[in-house]
């Protein structure tokens, strides 16, 4: 066994005796060979030890441990305490790694980043592969990753062992998503050069058997599959026929091992073609939508102009009514003032001497008018 390997690769396993051999083979077929593979049995299924032993490779170290709580994070820490590599990677027991996976991730760490990650191709249970292209260099995607959710499979990551104070860093106090919490911690604890994004697919990530789902219960993959089901142009390299009772991992592993370098190039070219076609489809869809939006915008502006004119007319009418009401109030005030003056003059007349002296004459005049009538 190599005294101090460059890479320590963690592979937890519980119940995938059916495909773990393929996952291990994809690690052994890496272009970098200076590694140790720490297979961590978390109360693993019968037959797992025999599959591992059949490889007879001294770089494989098997930790056959009783089942730990939840997803067995405590058992992963037991293995990592014995890890010796300067770089620590992860390989799921049901995923397949491109042959240059760890070579590419290691190159990503040459600039001093604490952690590097690559792209994954998610594979449906019926063999359709689609890219997940999370870019943490974009502020909105980084914010989502750090605060809301994880869309990067654990197999995509490689980190420096010295970026954290100890090796047994998997959080054991969470029931799930401990890998996501670990990547978040590494990024937070190394703010000056937190991560490196390797912009090529290096992992085939398959739907977990326990999810019992064609699309791994992932909405993005479900959308891709809906497109693939209807699009005749979906790249053939990303649509592999899975005969019964074969596993999707078996068929992809078979194709990969015929000519690993050529297969990798073909898959990456197919992903590039797919992304370009999807972008073109979006442009074609968005163009009439933009035209419709512009027409709707013009209609809205016209309606706003009409409403503005009506509002201005209403304001003008309101101002005129307010002016008329003000004039009426002024006229009323003037009448009331005149009436008050008249009442005062009448009261003064009633108090005058002439009114008293002419009182008998007014009575005679009133009496004569009554007789005439």
Q: Would you list the DSSP string of 219-267?
A: HHHHHHHHHHHH-TTS-GGGB----TT--HHHHHHHHHHHSHHHHHHHH
Nearest alpha-carbon partner for 155 in 207, 197, 97: 97
Confirm whether 263 is domain-assigned. Answer: no
CATH code, domain with 106: 3.90.550.10
pTM above 0.85, yes or no: no
Confirm whether 102 is domain-assigned. Answer: yes
Confirm whether 366 is domain-assigned. Answer: no
Query: Which residue bears the tokens 């073909």?
Result: 266
Q: What's the mean pLDDT in 140-165?
A: 97
Q: What is the pLDDT of residue 346?
A: 66
Q: What is the pLDDT of residue 349?
A: 62
Is 235 within 8 Å of 274 (Cβ atoms)? yes
Quote the CA–CA distance of 195 and 117 in Å, as a whole number.
Answer: 8
Q: What's the mean pLDDT in 115-141?
A: 97
Confirm whether 135 is domain-assigned. Answer: yes
What are the tens digits of pLDDT across the range 41-70?
Answer: 999 999 999 999 999 999 999 999 999 999
Question: Helix 178-189 crosses helix 139-147 at what angle (to 10 degrees)?
Answer: 120
Q: What's the mean pLDDT in 212-231?
A: 91
Q: What is the DSSP string of 293-331?
A: HHHHHHHHHHHHHHHHHHHHHHHHHHHHHHHHHHHHHHH
Confirm whether 248 is domain-assigned. Answer: yes
Q: Is the peptide bond before 245 cis (omega within 30 degrees of 0)?
A: yes
- Predicted confidence (pLDDT) at residue 190 exceeds the cutoff of 70: yes
Integer-rounded Cα radius of gyration of the chain: 43
- Predicted confidence (pLDDT) at residue 107 exceeds the cutoff of 90: yes
Q: What is the pLDDT of residue 1?
A: 47
- Integer angstrom CA distances of residue 29 from 32, 33, 37, 335, 341: 8, 8, 12, 109, 116
Q: What is the pLDDT of residue 281?
A: 86
Is 6 within 8 Å of 86 (Cβ atoms)? yes
Domain assignment of residue 38, given as a range: 7-258
Q: What's the mean pLDDT in 142-155?
A: 96
> What's the token pair of residue 54?
């059949």
Query: Which residue bears the tokens 């909405």?
Result: 219
Q: What is the pLDDT of residue 350?
A: 67
Higher-confidence position of 371 and 317:
317
Confirm whether 361 is domain-assigned. Answer: no
Q: Are strands 115-123 and 195-206 parallel, antiparallel or unpaired?
A: parallel
Higher-confidence position of 340 and 185:
185
Q: What's the number of domains the chain is made of? A: 1
What are the tens digits of pLDDT across the range 72-88?
Answer: 999 999 999 999 999 99
Ranges 97-106, 277-286, 301-310: which has the least confidence: 301-310
Task: Name the burial class of residue 111, with classes exposed (0-12), middle (13-18) and buried (19+) by CB atoms within 10 angstroms of its CB.
Answer: exposed
Q: What is the pLDDT of residue 301?
A: 74
Quote the CA–CA distance of 229 and 215 in Å, as a whole number.
Answer: 13
Question: Helix 248-258 crosses helix 20-28 at what angle (to 10 degrees)?
Answer: 20
| Residue 352: band (very low, low, confident or very high) from pLDDT cuts 50, 70, 90 | low
- Predicted confidence (pLDDT) at residue 138 exceeds the cutoff of 70: yes
Name 26's Cβ contacts closer than 8 Å, sequence gap at least 6. Answer: 91, 95, 96, 97, 99, 253, 256
Q: What is the DSSP string of 98-134?
A: -TTHHHHHHHHTTT--SEEEEEEEEE-TTSBEEEE--
Quote the CA–CA distance of 347 and 124 in Å, as a whole number.
Answer: 107
Confirm whether 298 is domain-assigned. Answer: no
Higher-confidence position of 126 and 320:
126
Confirm whether 289 is domain-assigned. Answer: no
| Residue 319: band (very low, low, confident or very high) from pLDDT cuts 50, 70, 90 | confident
């Amino acid at each position: 066994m190599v005294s101090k390997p460059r890479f320590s690769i963690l592979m937890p396993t519980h119940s995938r005796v059916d495909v773990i051999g393929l996952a291990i083979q994809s690690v052994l077929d890496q272009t970098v060979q200076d590694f140790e593979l720490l297979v961590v049995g978390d109360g693993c299924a019968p037959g797992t030890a025999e599959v591992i032993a059949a490889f007879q490779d001294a770089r494989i170290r098997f930790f056959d441990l009783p089942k730990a709580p939840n997803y067995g994070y405590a058992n992963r820490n037991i293995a990592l305490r014995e890890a010796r590599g300067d770089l620590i990677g992860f390989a799921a027991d049901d995923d397949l790694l491109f042959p240059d996976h760890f070579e590419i991730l290691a190159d990503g760490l040459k600039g001093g980043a604490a952690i590097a990650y690559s792209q994954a191709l998610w594979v449906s249970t019926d063999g359709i592969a689609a890219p997940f292209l999370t870019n943490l260099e974009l502020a909105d995607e980084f914010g989502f990753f750090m605060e809301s959710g994880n869309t990067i499979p654990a197999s995509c990551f490689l980190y420096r062992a010295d970026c954290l104070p100890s090796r047994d860093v998997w959080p054991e106090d969470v029931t799930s998503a401990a890998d996501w919490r670990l990547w978040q911690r590494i990024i937070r604890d190394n703010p000056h050069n937190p991560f490196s994004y390797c912009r090529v697919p290096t992992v085939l990530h398959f739907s977990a058997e326990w999810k019992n789902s064609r699309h791994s219960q992932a909405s993005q993959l479900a959308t891709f599959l809906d497109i693939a089901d209807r699009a005749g142009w979906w790249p053939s390299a990303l649509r592999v026929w899975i005969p019964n009772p074969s596993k999707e991992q078996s068929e992809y592993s078979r194709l990969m091992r015929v000519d690993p370098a050529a297969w990798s190039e073909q898959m990456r070219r197919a992903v590039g073609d797919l992304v370009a076609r999807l972008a073109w489809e979006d442009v074609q869809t968005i163009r009439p939508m933009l035209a419709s939006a512009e027409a709707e915008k013009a209609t809205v502006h016209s309606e706003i102009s009409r409403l503005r004119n009506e509002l201005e007319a209403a304001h003008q009418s309101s101002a005129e009514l307010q002016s008329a009401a003000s004039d009426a109030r002024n006229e009323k005030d003037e009448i009331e003032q005149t009436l008050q003056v008249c009442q005062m003059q009448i009261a003064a007349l009633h108090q005058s001497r002439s009114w008293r002296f002419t009182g008998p004459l007014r009575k005679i005049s009133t009496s004569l008018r009554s007789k005439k009538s």
